[in-house]
Amino acid sequence: MMAIDLEAPRADDDLDATLLRGVADGDSAAFDELFQRYYPLLRRFLWRFCSDDAIDEVTSDTLLTVWRKARGFEGRSRVSTWIFGIAYRRALKAASAARRHDRARSIAIDPPDTSSDTARHETAQWVDQALDRLPAKQRAVVELTFFADLSYPEIAEIVGCPVGTVKTRMHKAKQTLKPALDRLATTLSLGGRHD
């Protein structure tokens, strides 16, 4: 599970803050460690916003911005919230320049056959495809909620909108995803839990 570990948020937050202070002071070792911590998380987050070719570029741009702007971080939010906010804004720019969804282009949105042993895998693919069809702003809320495990106030700060707007985007996303969510629940009930 690549989600940010909220089971021990204080430890992560303290380490992030320490590393960012080091980065602000020009400490390359601190930047190395912060880079290693966030590189996989940002790549995963950006995956649904950027073309495959652009993921590393936007990830690098994000962490380059962290290096350049570290002195300006005032500690009003968690470091992770600040970094994801930078990534989100860069992702939207990249997405507007070159829309992704090579996978989504050739998608046939047919529900999978739940009677086979591969139903769960097929359902996951179907959900993945449904997510790719969401507008970027709704997709960001879904990803930040269910992948990054962030709270709705944190998401509001990252995407730069009121918490009510975050809830509205989630509501619309759930409406779009409802067939996929129903299918997920049905697959669970047919095949039993697998986690």
CB 104 within 8 A of CB 48: no
User: Element (H or E) spanning 49, and its range?
Assistant: none
Show the tokens assigned to 147.
């992948």
The least CB distance from residue 74 to other proteins, in Å, is: 21
Burial classification of residue 186, based on how many CB atoms lie within 10 Å of its CB (0-12 exposed, 13-18 middle, 19 or more buried): middle
Burial classification of residue 150, based on how many CB atoms lie within 10 Å of its CB (0-12 exposed, 13-18 middle, 19 or more buried): buried
The least CB distance from residue 136 to other proteins, in Å, is: 16
| 122 is a contact residue toward other proteins (CB under 8 A) | no
Q: Which is nearer to other proteins, 107 or 188 (CB)?
A: 188
| 184 is a contact residue toward other proteins (CB under 8 A) | yes
Q: Which is nearer to other proteins, 14 or 52 (CB)?
A: 52
| Whole-Å CA distances, 23 to 44, 90, 94, 191 | 23, 21, 26, 49
Where along the sequence are the contacts to other proteins (CB under 8 A)? 1-3, 6, 26, 28-29, 32, 35-36, 39-40, 43-44, 47, 52-57, 59-60, 63-64, 67-68, 123-124, 127-128, 131, 142-143, 145-147, 149-152, 154, 167, 170-171, 174, 177, 180-182, 184-185, 187-188, 195
